[in-house]
Amino acid sequence: MKVFKFGGASVKDAAGIKNVYDVLQKAGYQDVLLVVSAMGKTTNALELVIKNYFEKSAELNASVQEIKKYHNQILLDLFEDENHAVFAAVNEHFSDLEYFLAHNKSPNYNFVYDQIVSMGEIISTTILSYYMNFMGIETQWIDVRNFIKTNNNYRDAEVDWELTQKNIATNIKTKSLNITQGFLGSDENNFTTTLGREGSDYTAAIFAYCLNAESVTIWKDVPGVMNADPRYFENASLLNQISYREAIELAFYGATVIHPKTLQPLQKKEIPLHVKSFINPLLKGTVVSKGSTLEPFMPCFIVKREQLLIPLSSIDFSFIMEENISEIFRLFHEFKIKVNLIQNSAISFSVCVEDKFGNFKDLLAILSKTFKVGYNENVTLYTIRHFNDAAAQTVSEGKTVLLKQLGTETMQIVTKEN
């Protein structure tokens, strides 16, 4: 079996859905499992619903109706007959969403987030499955929540691999086109969980691992894995082949083409990962596999924006030792703040972090009791793998360099716009 993953950009409208059909015609669809994200910016739109729900906003119903209108237009563009069964199927999912909004009693934000935001994937895969059947490709629609089981760490759940593998290995039918949702799972009480934003790649890897798949292909709107994000760097180049190790390094530092959790399960079973263009599906793209080297050998740039640079120092000029550092990291973990760079001296400790859950101000109040704490907001962290002087100059020119750290193969620079 092969596993294909299509992200939100590939299914953002009716033309995108039709293009997925065309890609499958060219790439093949027998014995394939599709992992599909929510359509376009639906996840963001559902996050607005969540915000309105907790704020008891009068705009709650309007924000739901906007999402219904968006998906209904896609349905009208794909199916001429409004009596087609897909309309009722999608409306049933929206009814489930509205029922939850009306009857939920839990005040747990992360729990509510997962129950609501998951509807994007449920609806997108329903539409795609019905369209493939409409076009003559028989599909099996699979509710991923019946297969990928996790703990109840909502918004960033951990997979129960033993139970998940048992579910997938014994219940997925091969020799047909299976369609399922990325990003989602469920806990022991069958409440929906999510695997972290952009977790659909990880979902594809989970299925591939459990099915001993031949390969995984992530279909993107770029030709493959580039040595830099074309939005920020001119003349970005395609990496034809990279090793699992190199890909894991790039993902660890924040390369957005491949999700950080995706590669470990694939590497364990030596399942090759292809990153290809859904715009030009016959192009070779990038292959990530065992023993591949970085070709061509060149600096690779990774950009993480909207970071926080936090310098901490001891109030009484005492050394910052292991016990201090372990306590700092315990707090970062507790407040779900991701550390992307560390630098320390005898009496100071600096970190560049990502506060995706908005918890920094609460953490700051605690840290300030023990340390002298400063912070720079909205800084940019550049990571350069296989750096050289020209590469360093490229990212620092015209900016204020707040921190620089060099390793054998990797340079990290924190900058602020002048």
Amino acid in position 129: S
Where in the chain is CATH 3.40.1160.10?
A: 2-213
pLDDT of res. 230: 84
243: three-class secondary structure by DSSP: strand
Which helix H or strand E contains 405, and what residues bound it?
strand 399-406
Rounded Cα gap, residues 408 and 282, in angstroms: 37
The tens digit of pLDDT for each residue in 154-213 reads: 999 999 999 999 999 999 987 789 999 999 999 999 999 999 867 899 999 999 999 999
Please measure the distance between the N-terminal and C-terminal CA atoms of the chain and give it in whole angstroms. Answer: 52
Residue 234 tokens, joined: 């001119």
- Compute φ and ψ for 336, nearest 5 degrees: 55, 45
> Across all residues in the chain, what is the average pLDDT?
93
Rounded Cα gap, residues 192 and 119, in angstroms: 10
CATH number 3.40.50.300 given to 2-213 = no
Q: What's the rounded mean pLDDT across residues 73-97?
A: 97
pLDDT of res. 322: 83
Which CATH architecture does the domain made up of 300-417 adopt?
Answer: 2-Layer Sandwich (3.30)
- Contact criterion met (CB below 8 Å) for 308 and 353: yes
40 is an annotated ligand-binding site residue:
no
pLDDT of res. 296: 52
6 is an annotated ligand-binding site residue:
yes
Neighbour-count burial for 61-86, b at 16+ CB within 10 Å, e otherwise:
eebbeebbebbbebbeebbeeeeeeb
8 is an annotated ligand-binding site residue:
yes
Rounded Cα gap, residues 56 and 63, in angstroms: 12
Least confident among 104-113, 131-140, 236-245: 236-245
Rounded Cα gap, residues 235 and 56, in angstroms: 48
Whether the pLDDT of residue 417 is over 90: the answer is no
Where in the chain is CATH 3.30.2130.10?
A: 300-417
7 is an annotated ligand-binding site residue:
yes
Rounded Cα gap, residues 159 and 273, in angstroms: 21
The tens digit of pLDDT for each residue in 391-403 reads: 999 999 999 999 9
Q: What is the pTM of this model?
A: 0.85
